């Protein structure tokens, strides 16, 4: 009886092992077939470009000998002062074009006329430079010179039609 049940067990066990072995072989060859279908070990070109763009270094050493002299000549701070409209377009328009955070819109002639007549231009300059309530000092760009700020305020006043 024990010998008989041992035999049954071994037969079943061998069948199970055999089936598992077959499945393994099928899986191995199946995987081979799928991956070798294109007979291509490398990546497709579009995959390569994607990998390249994702693994690009976030900075690069600039070996251009003119680069440092350009920076010394001013870059964006120090050198040529920006015109009023340049400062406005780069910095001020972020808020004053659409009235973000309660900023008086550049197009709002009446509002600018009121501010100009109630406070005078010097106060407008001063508040634009030093900040005032929702208005950050120099529009949030400390690199701007006072002269550039004056020109930017003049530009806003001109655009609004208040001056
Ligand atoms: C982050 C948004 C923001 C930016 C950028 C910004 N402003 Fe303003 N500005 C404001 C707000 C808000 C007010 C209204 C302050 C108040 O009177 O409550 C204001 C008001 C002003 C005033 C009126 C001050 C007064 O005395 O009534 C002037 C002038 C001005 N801004 C000029 C500028 C100039 C020039 C720039 C660009 C260099 C600039 N702003 C950039 C938000 C901004």
Residue carrying structure tokens 């003119």: 66
Cβ distance 154 to 163 under 8 Å? yes
Query: Angle at Cα 35 formed by Cα 34 and Cα 38, nearest 5°?
Result: 95
Distance 105 CA to ligand 1 centre (A): 9
Which residue bears the tokens 């709002």? Answer: 108
Query: At residue 132, does pLDDT exceed 90?
Result: yes
- For residue 141, the ligand 1 atom closest to its alpha carbon is 38
Residue 73 has a pLDDT of: 43
Whether 103 lines ligand 1, by a CB cut-off of 6 Å, is yes
Structure-token pair, residue 82: 């920006």
How many residues belong to the chain? 163
Mutate to test the pocket of ligand 1, among 115, 128, 157, 159 (most ligand atoms within 8 A of CB): 128
* Percent above pLDDT 70 for the chain: 85
Instruction: Give 60-81 pLDDT, tens digit per residue.
Output: 777 776 666 554 444 444 568 8
pLDDT of 146:
94
pLDDT band at 48 (very low <50, low <70, confident <90, very high): confident
State the distance from the centre of ligand 1 to the C-alpha of 128, rounded, in angstroms: 6
């Amino acid at each position: 009886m024990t010998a008989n049940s041992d035999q049954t067990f071994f037969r079943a066990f061998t069948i199970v092992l055999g089936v598992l072995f077959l499945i393994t072989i099928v899986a191995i060859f199946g995987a081979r077939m799928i991956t070798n279908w294109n007979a291509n070990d490398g990546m497709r070109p579009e995959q390569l470009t994607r990998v390249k763009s994702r693994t690009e270094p976030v900075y690069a050493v600039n070996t251009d000998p003119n680069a440092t002299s350009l920076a010394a000549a001013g870059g964006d701070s120090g050198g040529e002062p920006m015109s009023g409209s340049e400062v406005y377009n780069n910095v001020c328009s972020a808020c004053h074009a659409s009235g973000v955070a309660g900023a008086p819109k550049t197009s709002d002639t009446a509002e600018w006329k009121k501010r100009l007549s109630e406070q005078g231009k010097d106060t407008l300059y001063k508040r634009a430079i030093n900040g005032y309530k929702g208005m950050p000092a120099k529009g949030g760009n400390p690199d701007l010179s006072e002269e550039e700020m004056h020109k930017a305020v003049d530009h806003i006043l001109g655009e609004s039609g208040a001056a």
